[in-house]
Amino acid sequence: MAQTQTAEPAVTNWDEMPLVLTLEQVAAVMNVSRTSAYEAHRRGQVPGAFRIGRRLRFSREAVRRAVEGGVGGTTEKTEPSLR
């Protein structure tokens, strides 16, 4: 039986989060899987992304603005996938 990983706890206070977030932390904030968060980043729906070497990081404030008010993200509507 495969072992599942649990997501980090939901955000209760933005100021307690680090200034620079990992993809896993962004996924937890968005309440989606790591894969879904990466796909949203790839589509330009997660602002504030930058790389340090090969590692993807996000600005806490840019993600906060996007989550709280949609600033910096896209309002593009997508059709459900037919996989």
Q: In this predicted model, what pLDDT tens digit does every residue of 27-74 receive, in sequence order?
A: 999 999 999 999 999 999 999 999 999 999 999 999 999 888 864 444
**Is 78 part of any domain?**
no
Q: How far is CA 75 from CA 1, 46, 70, 79, in A?
A: 39, 11, 8, 13
Number of domains in the chain: 1
Its pTM stands at: 0.68
Give the confidence band of 83 by pLDDT, cuts at 50, 70, 90.
very low
State the pLDDT at residue 80.
47
Q: Range of 44's domain? A: 17-69
Sign of CA dihedral 62, 65, 71, 77: positive
* Residue 9, CA atoms < 13 Å, CB-side half-sphere: 6
**Is 64 part of any domain?**
yes
